């Protein structure tokens, strides 16, 4: 189950996509509109900046804005950045240590099949798809 981090990140991105793309939007405004603690959003937004999905400037008139247009972001990359991995099982996550049962595992093909389905869904779903709805 996806946590608030990934879900809130998506909401921040959607919020930014709905604002003037040339203006920096202060986090305070996003927090109020989305009704999420600004303090908590700081953590999330930090990751979004680190991942270069948004850019921030300090000081008066500062805030955050998207670095690209909404069609250029996939939901998958936003969630993955915040959640670490969207793999259904630990052994399929990118940083997973090799499972000793890999060769005999009766469930691995199913997990892999589902993971492909999931990636297909979330990486083809664009931020712009969510804004226009």
Q: Which residues bind a second copy (CB under 8 A)?
A: 1-2, 7, 10-11, 14, 35, 75, 85, 87-90, 93, 101, 106-107, 109-110, 113-114, 117-118, 121-122, 125, 129-131, 133
Between 41 and 127, CB nearer to DNA: 41
Whole-Å CA distances, 122 to 9, 45, 105: 14, 20, 26
Q: Is 100 in the site for DNA (CB under 7 A)?
A: no
Tokens (6 digits) for 70? 């909404």
Site string for DNA, 22-51 (x = CB under 7 A): ---xxxx--------x-xx-xx-xx--x--
Q: Which residues of 3-32 are buried (b: 16+ CB within 10 A; e: fewer)?
A: eebbbbbbbbbbbbbebeeeebbbbeebbe
């Amino acid at each position: 189950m996806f946590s608030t981090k990934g879900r809130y990140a998506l909401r921040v991105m959607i919020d930014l996509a709905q604002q003037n793309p040339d203006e920096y939007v202060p986090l305070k405004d996003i927090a109020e509109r989305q009704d999420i603690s600004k303090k908590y959003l700081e953590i999330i937004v930090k990751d979004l900046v680190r991942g270069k999905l948004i850019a921030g400037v300090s000081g008066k008139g500062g805030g955050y804005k998207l670095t690209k247009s909404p069609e250029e972001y996939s939901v998958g990359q936003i969630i993955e950045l915040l959640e670490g991995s969207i793999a259904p099982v630990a052994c399929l996550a990118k940083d997973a240590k090799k499972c000793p049962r890999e060769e005999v595992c009766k469930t691995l093909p199913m997990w892999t099949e589902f993971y492909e389905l999931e990636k297909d869904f979330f990486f083809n779903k664009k931020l712009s798809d969510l804004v226009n709805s």
